[in-house]
Amino acid sequence: MSATTPPRLRAPSLLRRLAYWLEPRWRDPGWLAFALNRFAGYILIGYLLAHMVVLSRLAAGPAGWNSLLDLFGSTPFLVGDTLLIAAVVFHGLNGLRVAAFTAGWGVRHPNAWVAVVLAVSVALVGLAAWEILL
């Protein structure tokens, strides 16, 4: 009697893993908060890198900096600033929610706290967008 080895299972492809991760069904609001927090963190890292590039333009002197001032006042840049504010506000408020959960506060109603964080974030970003874009 020969021993047969079971067939080797292949790992799912990157596309299949990404599609599963982005699948919103069967997810609770805590997962949504986690995904948005991760996305906001990536936005903040991207902003940090872009900020370093912009600050390096100061080495070019006033001419290099003055050329950027026109860009900073343009509508696409102001929309980007508003999205950056959205990332900062949500990431900060969700971090406070996670810290409160770690301390044992609000753990009986986690879905309600996710809704509160989202609602306050939308309200604050709406006020910021009103000031920046209008």
Selecting from 3.40.50.2000, 1.20.1300.10, 3.30.310.160, 2.170.190.11, what CATH number does the domain 30-133 have? 1.20.1300.10
- Which distant-in-sequence residues (6+ apart) come within 8 Å of 113 by Cβ? 97, 100, 101, 106
Q: How do residues 72-85 score in pLDDT, each as one tens digit?
A: 889 999 999 999 99
Which sequence spans correspond to the domains of the chain? Answer: 30-133
pTM over 0.85: no
Which residue in the block uniquely carries the two structure tokens 């309200």?
123
What tokens does 47 get?
Answer: 């902003």
C-alpha to C-alpha distance for 40 and 20, rounded to whole angstroms:
20
Q: How do residues 95-107 score in pLDDT, each as one tens digit?
A: 999 999 999 999 9
Over residues 108-127, mean pLDDT: 96
Query: What is the predicted pLDDT for the residue at 96?
Result: 97
Identify the three-state secondary structure at position 108.
Answer: coil
C-alpha to C-alpha distance for 62 and 65, rounded to whole angstroms:
5
Burial call 6-25: b when 16+ CB within 10 Å, e when fewer? eeeeeeeeeeeeeeeeeeee
